[in-house]
Chains A and B, each alone.
Chain A
Amino acid sequence: MKKIIEERKDIAFYLKMFPLPSHPEAYEKSKSIVCEKSITLLENSFEKKPVPKQNCGTLAVDENIKLAKKLGVTSVPMVILPNGMLLPGYKDAKTLIDLIGN
């Protein structure tokens, strides 16, 4: 995604935190990341670095879980293109750019 936004200034990614039930710690981490609205914190979490616990009372993560169910999002990462198409799984930058189009 970093590669893509460098290459294509007209594309922005909006990351929605959606902890899977199979990852027990992900829920609290998601909440903390949403509270801080920090990409760095999310990257740290990907790298297995600790995420300091924050509790700002956000309901966004619970809302995302409900929304994911409604939209048919069952796995992560799930890319949703502007036309509404769902693309499950990791894709390399070139494939993703091709799919996003112009």
Chain B
Amino acid sequence: MDCVQQDFMLEKNVLRRFLFNFLLLFFILSVGNAYGFEARGQECSKCHVLSNSEAKDLLKNIIPEVVILDIRLSSAKGFWEVYLESGGKKGLLYVDFPKKHFFSGPLISIADRKNLTQERLMELNKVDVSQIPLDDALLMGDQKARIRVIVFTDPD
């Protein structure tokens, strides 16, 4: 086989493969449209379910001693937001609907230029201030002040 012929064969193969991939992609997308994504009058939250125990199974080999605290749909379509604890630290990560990938990192809203992950974490990590005794605390300002702000500080 001379070089030109070989090249031609190769090209033909590449073309055939390309066509095949294209058809495959088309097929997957159409299936996706029927089952994977939001169909008319159907809510995504109903066709996609991720339970706490399932999330734990997905993540336990990657995140040591993972405890799933809460799962809800992320505002980024196609992802769940998973609130978890590992080694005494709490955090968020995002798992995709096919349950094949996750990412941990800030989710940014392009329209609002907001770090949604940080905002959500602040909301989730809120504490009950009534649980914090103030009798040992050092007061700065007026004791009768309406707004009480607590600061944990270290002398060094």
Q: Which listed residue (A13, A26, A86, A100) contacts B155, Cβ 8 A?
A: A26
CA distance A88 to B21 in the complex (A): 50
| Tally of B interface residues using CB under 8 Å | 35
Number of residues of chain A lying within 8 A (CB) of chain B:
53
Fill in one digit per residue for B123-156: 1 if any A CB lies within 8 Å of its CB, else 0.
Answer: 1011111011111111111110111111111111
A residues near B (Cβ < 8 Å) are: 1-2, 5, 8-20, 23, 25-26, 29-30, 33-34, 37-39, 42, 45-46, 51, 58, 60, 63-64, 67-69, 71-74, 76-86, 100
Having A34-B136, A82-B147, one finds 13 other A-B pairs with CB under 8 Å, namely A10-B145, A11-B141, A11-B145, A11-B149, A18-B152, A19-B155, A37-B138, A39-B138, A42-B155, A74-B88, A77-B153, A85-B125, A86-B127
